[in-house]
A and B are shown apart, each in its own frame.
Chain A
Amino acid sequence: MKFEIRVRGQPQAVGAGDEALLEPLAGTECWRLVVGGRAVPVRVVEHEGRLLVTIGADRVEVGVRRALPVPSRRASAQNGADRVEVRAPMPGLVVSVPVAIGEPVRAGGAVAVVEAMKMQMEVVSPSSGCIEEIRVQPGQEVAGGQVMVLVRVPASGAGEEALP
């Protein structure tokens, strides 16, 4: 099985000559990387087909391409390119949904308020448009990444969904 390792889109040469050793340190995510005569604690988390590697103060997003291509979720979502899904940034409790179906919303405008760990946060629409669907109501628990509101954006804005 072969992997292609990419950092910021650039393939990284990690050759077979790299005498790197990865030893378990704590739990499923914390490791000790021994390479080039140094031991460095690292944390590796698999997230949506990428690896998030934390080293010291830095987090590096490592793209991994496997032998079997996995269909991109983003690509399959292109059918609804004129709709933007506003997702919950974290698990929490919906405090309020200060918008109604059919209402206009501007980019950066609040579509919901979510509370977790005693903090309330506004969930904002990434694009200007019109509220098409509201899938949550106040008092409801939401999971992180759950779609809360759909915003229909004018055709010119289609496909401009910002990366998170």
Chain B
Amino acid sequence: MPLPRRLLIANRGEIAVRIVRACRDLGVEPVAVYAPVDAGAPHVRLADDALPLPGDSPAEGYLNSPKLVELARRCGAAAIHPGYGFLSENPSFAAACEAAGIAFVGPPASVLQMCGDKAAARAAAASAGVPVLPGSGSVDDAEAPSAAEVVGFPLLIKAAGGGGGKGIHLVRSPDELPGALRLARGEAQTAFGDPRVYLERWVERPRHVEVQILADSAGGVIHLGERACSVQRRHQKLIEEAPAPGISPELRDALLRSAVRVARALGYRNAGTVEFLLDGDAFFFIEVNARLQVEHPVTEMVTGVDIVAAQLAIAGGEPIPFAQEEVRHAGWAIECRISAEDPHGGFLPSLGKIDGVIEPQGPGIRVDSGFRAGCVVSRHYDPLLSKVVAWGRDRGEAIARMRRALAEYAISGVDTTIPFHRWALEQPAFLGGAYDVRFAEEWDGTAPSQEAERLAATAAAAWLRRKAAASLMISDGHAAGPSSRWIAAAREEGLR
């Protein structure tokens, strides 16, 4: 099948925008869907057509499988791209698309089934000779205590039907198990519609490295190199980079070859990511993310490959558009995820209406963003607002550009993770490239520097003066020019 004429994007936010852009580059007509709260969002405005979903809750909206298939048929879309999260790894949805004669841009239902059953994926990896961590199959509450003893503490509870860090809980001792099971199951049910969980041994200070793969229906499998994703909080990635710093060429080579072996063992198709934990020079397969990853742009920046375009070609039955030896790696790329969370308040979600934004630009900077001024950050969805990606000829240049971009980025209306990223990019552990998954725990955020305190006091005084002056003026106008400052000062004098 050649490329579809129309493609329905069953997602929202920055990833829906990303897919719209790939469609434009390929001459495919993108069709968006949107929940009521997302009316007017960038993904809606950029698409050729936008179809409403009945409600804001994920179940009524972006998880509403029958409705999405119906909309695709009604608008004449020959393919559906599920993005990440929501229905992207849901085998029933892939099967429903297939049954309706619509191409699902992702692996076939049978592969999603196997990758989604994390225990089955682990078994497949082990059979391909790739090391795995000790773990259990899916467990119910009654089996959990004995299974936990076998796996050993500390351990992680993970959602069998999930990914993306949702539904993962660390359990250090047997008495924490029941409470953590309850939370993990609740999250797994809400996020994935599947309450099954399994247990896995926890490594104290691992590094997280993953390999991007592409596989076609003719059995071709290639990799696009690795990404380091060890800057995480609550098992959610915050910063990713490619290539991975601080690993030997031998280790890198072993990871890349293992990833391809796992993909072959699973009969994988389309784009996917094979995730590993590194403990020193030892590595363990953890899971396959059978979808486009949030952090795919860092790989695109260093390889020049458009991964979404490759996905569409493969979903149309074509072979991977290039051979392994044609993939060239150049420079270094770093991605910072900008989320509506308060890094100074325990990273709690920050909800509200965004009333202003200035996005960074300039050499080496790519911003994949799914919001604009006027958008509402609601409690229904993941807090990811955008991703800033910096490319440089080497890691130092990429970091310098990222620092510049983060300083330019201004978002008004909600708290964001930008201050955390600005901190991270100054830390010796990050700059040295020797950080592990505990790195983000070093963030404290409660002890501002004296310089910041001094500037904050000055800013507060200036802010109060402006406010007092504005309250007396009919309009504050654009009180930036020297003359209006004179007026403001004069009014203020009158207030004393």
Contacts and interface: CB of A to CB of B under 8 A. Distances in A.
A29 B412 CA distance: 5
Interface string B447-465: 0110011111111111110
A22 B459 contact: yes
B379 A27 contact: no
Nearest to B191: A118
Given A14-B457, A55-B456, A58-B448, A1 B356 contact: no
Contact of A59 (B356, B407, B448, B479): B448
A120 interface: yes
Given A5-B461, A58-B449, A91 B379 contact: yes
Contacts, number: 174
Residue among A5, A29, A55, A117 facing the most chain B CB atoms (10 A cut-off) = A117
Contacts of A116: 349, 351, 379
Contacts of A113: 183, 186
A100 interface: no
B410 interface: yes
Given A18-B461, A119-B166, A27 B373 contact: yes
A160 interface: no
Nearest to B420: A57
A89 B346 CA distance: 10
Contacts of B449: 58
B455 A42 contact: yes
Interface stretch (A33-41, A71-79, A125-133, A149-157): A33-41
B468 A26 contact: no
B279 interface: no
A53 B462 CA distance: 12
A56 B403 CA distance: 10
B217 to A, nearest CB: 33
A101 interface: no
Given A14-B461, A118-B190, A120-B190, A60 B456 contact: yes
B162 to A, nearest CB: 10
B187 A90 contact: no
A51 B463 contact: yes
A117 B382 contact: yes
B187 A120 contact: yes
Contacts of B329: none
A7 B453 contact: yes
Interface residues of A, number: 56
B411 A44 contact: no
A108 to B, nearest CB: 12
A55 B382 contact: no
B349 A117 contact: yes
B238 to A, nearest CB: 13
Interface in A1-59: 1-3, 5, 7-8, 12, 14, 18, 20-31, 33, 35, 40-44, 51, 53-59
B161 interface: no
A23 to B, nearest CB: 5
Nearest to B423: A57
A117 B410 contact: no
Contact of B457 (A2, A5, A24, A144): A5
A122 interface: yes
Looking at B166, B459, B463, the one whose CB has the most chain A CB atoms below 10 A away is B459
A27 B412 contact: yes
A12 B457 contact: yes
Nearest to A8: B453
B74 interface: no
A31 B445 CA distance: 21
Contacts of A62: 456-457, 460
A20 B460 contact: no
Interface in B351-410: 351, 354-358, 373, 379-383, 407-408, 410
Contacts of A7: 453, 456-457
Of all A-B residue pairs in the complex, the 6 with the closest CB atoms, nearest first, are A27-B356, A27-B412, A60-B456, A26-B356, A57-B423, A58-B448
13 contacts: A7-B456, A14-B457, A20-B459, A25-B358, A28-B355, A29-B356, A30-B411, A33-B462, A90-B351, A96-B186, A116-B351, A118-B190, A119-B349
Interface of A: 1-3, 5, 7-8, 12, 14, 18, 20-31, 33, 35, 40-44, 51, 53-60, 62, 64, 89-93, 95-96, 110, 113, 115-120, 122, 144
Interface of B: 58, 166, 179, 183, 186-187, 190-191, 234, 344, 348-349, 351, 354-358, 373, 379-383, 407-408, 410-413, 419-420, 422-423, 426, 445, 448-449, 452-464, 466, 468, 478-480, 485, 495-496
